[in-house]
Each structure stands twice: as C-alpha cells, then as structure tokens.
Amino acid sequence: MAELKGWGWLRIAVLIVVVVPLVAGAALAALARSAPFLPGQELFAAQSWAEEMWAATMADATAQANYRIDLAERRVANLSARTGTRWEAQSLASVDGAVDRALLAVGAAPASAAGALHTRLLALANHLQAALQNLTVAPAADQATYLISLSKVDALRQSAVPAGAALVPTLTAKPPDIGLAVTATPTLPLPEASVDPRAVLFPPNATPGGHDTFPLTGKHATTLCADCHSDGNYKGTSHECATCHAKDLPAVHYPGECSLCHNTAAWKPASFDHHGVKDCLSCHTKDKPANHFAGQCSLCHTTIAWLPAHMNHAGLTNCVTCHTKDKPANHFPGQCSGCHTTTAWKPAVVNHSLFSDLNCDVCHQAPPNHYPLPCKNCHKDTTNWKNVQFDHSFIGNMDCSVCHQPPPNHFGTPCGMCHHDTTNWLNVSFDHPFPLNHGGANGQCSVCHPNGGTAWTCTACHGNAAMDARHAGVAGYSHNCIQCHPTGQGGD
C-alpha cells in the first residue's frame, strides 16, 4: 500500500514538471504574439520579456531577423499610439532598443536573405521617420534620445546597401550603452556573435553632433543628415539658408536675411516681421500698378495683408491725385469732398451748402423755355429738385407772362393788375377804373374796346363836335377825356 502511494506522488510530480512548463510556454507564446500592452502599462515589461524569450527560441538567423524587424515595427506602432501623451518618451526609448536589435539580427542573417530583409529595413525607416515627425513631447523632454532616433532612420536606410560595400569596424551583437534617459524594456543578454554590418553614414548607436552653431529645430530636426551633408564632409557645412534653399528663391526677392520671413517649422508660408521697416517698395515694387498714388504705402496698406488696401484720408485734400480716372466728362468742377466721402467714392451725395456762390445750372440743365432767373429762387430743397416754391418777390417789374401764358382773348394788360395773389393764380381781383356799366356797356368790354385788348376810345359815343359845344368856356378843355374824367364820371 505504501509502495502504491509513493508511485502516486511520483506521477503527480512528473505531471507538474511536464504540464506546467507547457502551459507557461503556451501563455508566454500567446503574450509574445498578441502584444496587447503599450509602454507605460504595468504588464508591458512582462510582455517585452516574453518577446525576448520567444526570440531566443529561434535558431534560424533569417527567422530571428524577421522577428526582430516585426518587433521594431510593433514598437513604432506603439510610439504612434502614445504620441502626445506622457508615455511618448518611454515609447521612443523602446523603439530605439528594438531598432538596434533589428539591425544586428539583419547583419547576422545569411546573404541569401539580405534582399528581402533590406527591403523591410527601408519600410521600417519610412515608418519610423513618419512617427518621429508627429512627436510633441519627446523632442523637448528627451532631446538626446530623439536625436539618436533620427540618426537611426539614416542607419536603417544605409544598412540596406548592396552587399560588397565597404565595411565599418565589426560591431558586437550587444549594442553599447547609449545613456538613454528613459529605460523602457528589460533586455536579456544575447549570444555573443560577430556580424558584418553594411557601410553606413552613422553606426546604429552613433550620436549626431550637437549642432551648437546650428540648432536642429522644426523641420531641420527630422531632415536626413545627407540632405545637408551631401558630400560626406560634416565639417564646415554652410549655415546660410540659401545653400539649401536657393531653388526656392524667386526672382527680384527681398535681399534681407531669410530668417526675417521664414522659420524652421515650415519654409512656407513666410511671415515677415515689418517692425522698423519703412521702405515698402523694396519688396512690393511689382505690386504697384501704373499711375498709383505717390504717397507713403502705409497710408493704405497694412502689414497684416497687402490687399485689400484701406486709404487713410486724414489730412488729404487733393482727391484727383487718385481719382482722376473716376471723374467723368463735363463733371462738376468743384472740390470732390463736396459730394464724395472717404467711406465710399460712390454713391455721391452733394452737400449744397458748400456751393451757395454757384448757380445750379453748373450741374442741372434747365428745360427749354424755362424761367431764366437763378434756379435757387424756386428750387430751395436740395434733397428734392422737384419740390419747387417760387418766390415772386424777386421778379420786380417783370411781367408774369414770362412764365404764365395767358389764354386766348385774355385781357391784355399786365397780369399783376388782376393776379395779386402769387400763391393762387386763380384768386383774381380786377381793378377797372371805369364803371363796368359805363355808357350802358353793362359789362360788355367790346362797347368801349371795339378792337379788343386794352385800347379804348371815347369818341365812339362822345363825338368831338358834341363835346366841343358842351365844354365851351371850360378852361383846359381837350379831346383827352380821361384827363378830366379818370373814372368816366361826369362830375370828375
């Protein structure tokens, strides 16, 4: 019985020794393959350890290299996911280590796999460069690691050179300490090996120069070193913008420093600091049209935008300097400001109070047979030309018929003898010195005015012979009856 019990415990021990590692290995493989955790999460370190353990199981160098590139791509994806967060710098550090291991693994792979692996390195370089351009925290929080990562983009691309290129000194499989400020992944020692890395512009762990005399900011921080150091000479490279941007310089360009308008964030759009600049024509000669206002540009243009321009008319009195083209033929010859304002040239509103010494016909053409005296005698309302009020006190001895045509067979004496009310033409008051029934006329004008009009005669009724006899002995008698009888009465 005791012997059977001993065999039972033995079986249990065997099961523990065999099953537990199998279960642990399966869990390890699942964690390494799924990689659900991001830098900064509690289980990310365990996930990284699982990835390293899984890599250590790979005996085939090509498989090892492909898996290392997979891990580098995974870390780049993690970096993009953490961009803009407080874990951005930690994510960048994990990318840096993963790229180092990928480069070493590719160097240890057989030459027969080099073509495919180098293609993947180029893709990794492009993905890393795109991720670095979007970072907002790491460039300031850990500039050293950021600059090293930029150099890794060059290293990845240069490592994908064809076999047979000149070799750099042999690197050990374990990368040297580069002094990262943030440690993200606990790395396990790898088997020591010697590799033949391709000729590169910078070794994988090389740190670019401090650029103390030319700080790498903005777009300069993500530009490949070879873009500025194209001849392989890193000493004495010009700091002048035109060295790289001569192709961007248009004809007749502003001759000042490029940095006055351009910055490293982007070459375009340019923003010029106009502070202290007075000579606008240095840049804007091409913008000045023919027959342009000859005054200072700043009276109309601002440094915010050259167009649209807004003219400051304060102190300016000679409008025709600018507005000659706007003046039509036969235009009013007076001062423009009498009608036009600085708010808008059109519509124009005439201020008639400025033209009291001018007659209206300077602007307003009178119709045919119009009253010939000054217009303002009738047209007093300058807002409405047809609102007419005639002041008859101005006409003096002028007869009304100058304006008012009498009807046919109208009484021919001056209108004023009957039409005394200048506000109502029909309000007539006729002043006839003779009684209208004189000589039995009984209101019939033709009795005394046989020829019509105002002509009259007494002899039609009062013959001269009869009147001579009747007035015999009357002193001063004459045939001019009206002299003694102004009202036609016998006792006058």
Tell me: the pLDDT tens digits for 362-371?
778 888 878 7
Highest mean predicted confidence (pLDDT) among 35-44, 68-77, 236-245 = 68-77
Measured over the CA atoms of residue 280, residue 283, residue 284 and residue 290, the dihedral's sign is positive
310: nearest Cα among 338, 344, 286:
344
The stretch 408-415 carries a mean pLDDT of 74
**pLDDT > 90: percent of the chain:** 6
Report the pLDDT value the prediction gives residue 194, as an integer from 0 to 100: 34
The stretch 142-165 carries a mean pLDDT of 72
Residue 30 lies in a domain: yes
Report the pLDDT value the prediction gives residue 377, as an integer from 0 to 100: 78
The stretch 10-24 carries a mean pLDDT of 59
pLDDT confidence tier of residue 176, bands split at 50, 70 and 90: very low
State how many domains the chain has.
2
Residue 100 lies in a domain: yes
pLDDT confidence tier of residue 181, bands split at 50, 70 and 90: very low
Highest mean predicted confidence (pLDDT) among 98-112, 187-201, 474-488 = 98-112
For residue 339, give the amino acid letter: C
Which residues neighbour 183 within 8 Å (Cβ) at sequence distance 6 or greater? 93
Q: Is the pTM of this model over 0.75?
A: no
User: Among the three residues 200, 228, 256, which one is the final residue of a domain in this structure?
Assistant: 228
For residue 143, give the amino acid letter: Q
Tell me: the pLDDT tens digits for 200-227?
344 444 455 556 677 878 888 777 777 7
Residue 191 lies in a domain: yes
Is the pLDDT at 38 greater than 50? The verdict is yes
Report the pLDDT value the prediction gives residue 18, as an integer from 0 to 100: 55
pLDDT confidence tier of residue 74, bands split at 50, 70 and 90: very high
Tokens found for residue 240? 């002048």
Residue 461 lies in a domain: yes
Residue 397 lies in a domain: no
When comparing pLDDT for 491 and 144, which is higher? 144
Highest mean predicted confidence (pLDDT) among 39-43, 158-162, 177-181, 249-253 = 39-43
Q: What are phi and psi of 394, to 5 degrees?
A: -85, -15
Is the pLDDT at 87 greater than 50? The verdict is yes
When comparing pLDDT for 278 and 135, which is higher? 135
Residue 274 lies in a domain: no
User: Among the three residues 179, 212, 228, which one is the final residue of a domain in this structure?
Assistant: 228
Report the pLDDT value the prediction gives residue 231, as an integer from 0 to 100: 66
Residue 209 lies in a domain: yes
User: Among the three residues 228, 263, 291, which one is the final residue of a domain in this structure?
Assistant: 228
- Judge whether 162 and 134 are in contact, CB under 8 Å: no
The stretch 119-127 carries a mean pLDDT of 87
- Judge whether 418 and 428 are in contact, CB under 8 Å: yes
Rounded to an integer, what distance in angstroms lies between the CA atom of residue 393 and that of residue 346? 39
For residue 209, give the amino acid letter: G
Report the pLDDT value the prediction gives residue 183, as an integer from 0 to 100: 34
- Domain span at 451: 441-492
Highest mean predicted confidence (pLDDT) among 129-133, 393-397, 420-424 = 129-133
The stretch 125-150 carries a mean pLDDT of 86
